[in-house]
Amino acid sequence: MRDCSRFLSHVVRAVMAGPQPVVLSGPSGAGKSTLLKRLLQDHEGVFGFSVSHTTRKPRPREVNGKDYHFVTREEMQKAIDAGEFLEYAEFSENMYGTSKAAVQTVQAKNQICILDIDMQGVKNIKKSELKPIYISIHPPSAAVLEKRLRGRKTETEDSLQKRLNAAIKDMEISKEPGLFDVIIINDDLEEAYSNLKKVLQEEILKVKQSKNSSLKDSS
C-alpha cells in the first residue's frame, strides 16, 4: 500500500512538473543558441527557454531577461547563498547559473523547458530532480569550432582561447557512456536541426496534444 502511494506521488509530481525538460550542452561555438532559437521560433508555445543568470557582459543584441539575466558577481552570490539556484558554474572567468524560478516559469506554462548549460551544469543537474533529456551539440572538428567562434566576433583572443580549451576537454568528457542521451554533430545546420527535431518529436507531440485537449475542454 505504501509502495502504491509512493508510486502515485511520483506520478502526480511528474504530471504537475509538465513535459520533460531538455538540456542542450556542448562546446561554446558548437551552435546551441542557433539551433535553440530556431526551435523556439518554429514551435511557438511548445518550448520555453530557461533564462540563466550570468556575470558576463551582454553582447550586442542580447536582451536582459531574455537571453540572460545579467547580474553582478555580488548579486549572483547572494542569490546562490539564498538557495535560489538549481545549479551554477564558473566558466571562462564568469558565473552562470539556472535559477529554480527560471525553470518553474517555463514549467508553469506547460512548455518543454530548454536549458543551455555547460558540462559542470550537466553534472550538477544529474544530481537534481529535473530528469531532462540530455543532448550534446558538437562541431564537426576543433578547427571548424575555432573558425565559427572567430566568425561570431563576440570574443577577445583571451576568452576565445579559454572557450577552445574548455571545448576540447568537454568533447572528451561527453563521450562518457550514459552522460548524454544523444550527441548531434552540427556540420550542416539543416541536417543538425532536423536531427534535433527528430529527437524531440515525441515530447513536441505530447505538448501539442495536451494543448489541443485543454482547448477542447475549455470550449
Ligand X SMILES: Nc1nc2c(ncn2[C@@H]2O[C@H](COP(=O)(O)OP(=O)(O)O)[C@@H](O)[C@H]2O)c(=O)[nH]1
The smaller minimum CB distance to ligand X, of residues 87 and 196, is found at 87
Q: Taking the CA atoms of the chain, what radius of gyration do you get in angstroms?
A: 18
Does 206 contact ligand ADP by CB under 6 A?
A: no
Take residue 151 and report the three cell numbers written for it. 566568425
Which listed residue (148, 162, 197, 206) binds ligand ADP by CB under 6 A?
148
Residue 212 to residue 166: CA distance in whole angstroms: 43
Give Cα 161 distance to the centre of its chain.
Answer: 23
Residue 111 interaction partner, one of ligand X, ligand ADP, none, beta carbon < 5-8 Å per kind: none
| 13 in active site | no
Residue 217 CB, nearest approach to ligand X (Å): 35
CB 187 within 8 A of CB 141: no
Residue 11 CB, nearest approach to ligand X (Å): 29
Rounded to 5 degrees, what angle do the CA atoms 68, 70, 74 make? 135
Catalytic residue among 6, 59, 73, 150: 59
The site for ligand X (CB under 6 A) is made up of 28-29, 33, 52, 56, 87, 89, 91, 96-98, 116-118, 120-121, 163
Residue 42 CB, nearest approach to ligand X (Å): 20
Residue 124 to residue 187: CA distance in whole angstroms: 28
Residue 97 interaction partner, one of ligand ADP, ligand X, none, beta carbon < 5-8 Å per kind: ligand X
| 61 in active site | no
Residue type, 122: V
Q: Which residues pair with 191 in a beta bridge?
A: none
Residue 213 CB, nearest approach to ligand X (Å): 33
The smaller minimum CB distance to ligand X, of residues 80 and 204, is found at 80
Using the structure block, give the residue that is written with the C-alpha cell 561554446.
28
Does 186 contact ligand ADP by CB under 6 A?
A: yes
Does 33 contact ligand ADP by CB under 6 A?
A: yes
| 152 in active site | yes
List of residues 6+ apart from 107 with CB closer than 8 A: 17, 18, 21, 113
Does 32 contact ligand ADP by CB under 6 A?
A: yes
CA atoms within 13 A on the CB side of 13: 9
| Burial classification of residue 139, based on how many CB atoms lie within 10 Å of its CB (0-12 exposed, 13-18 middle, 19 or more buried) | buried
Would you please indicate which residues are annotated as catalytic (active-site) residues?
A: 59, 152, 163
Residues binding ligand ADP (CB under 6 A):
28-34, 148, 151-152, 186, 189, 192
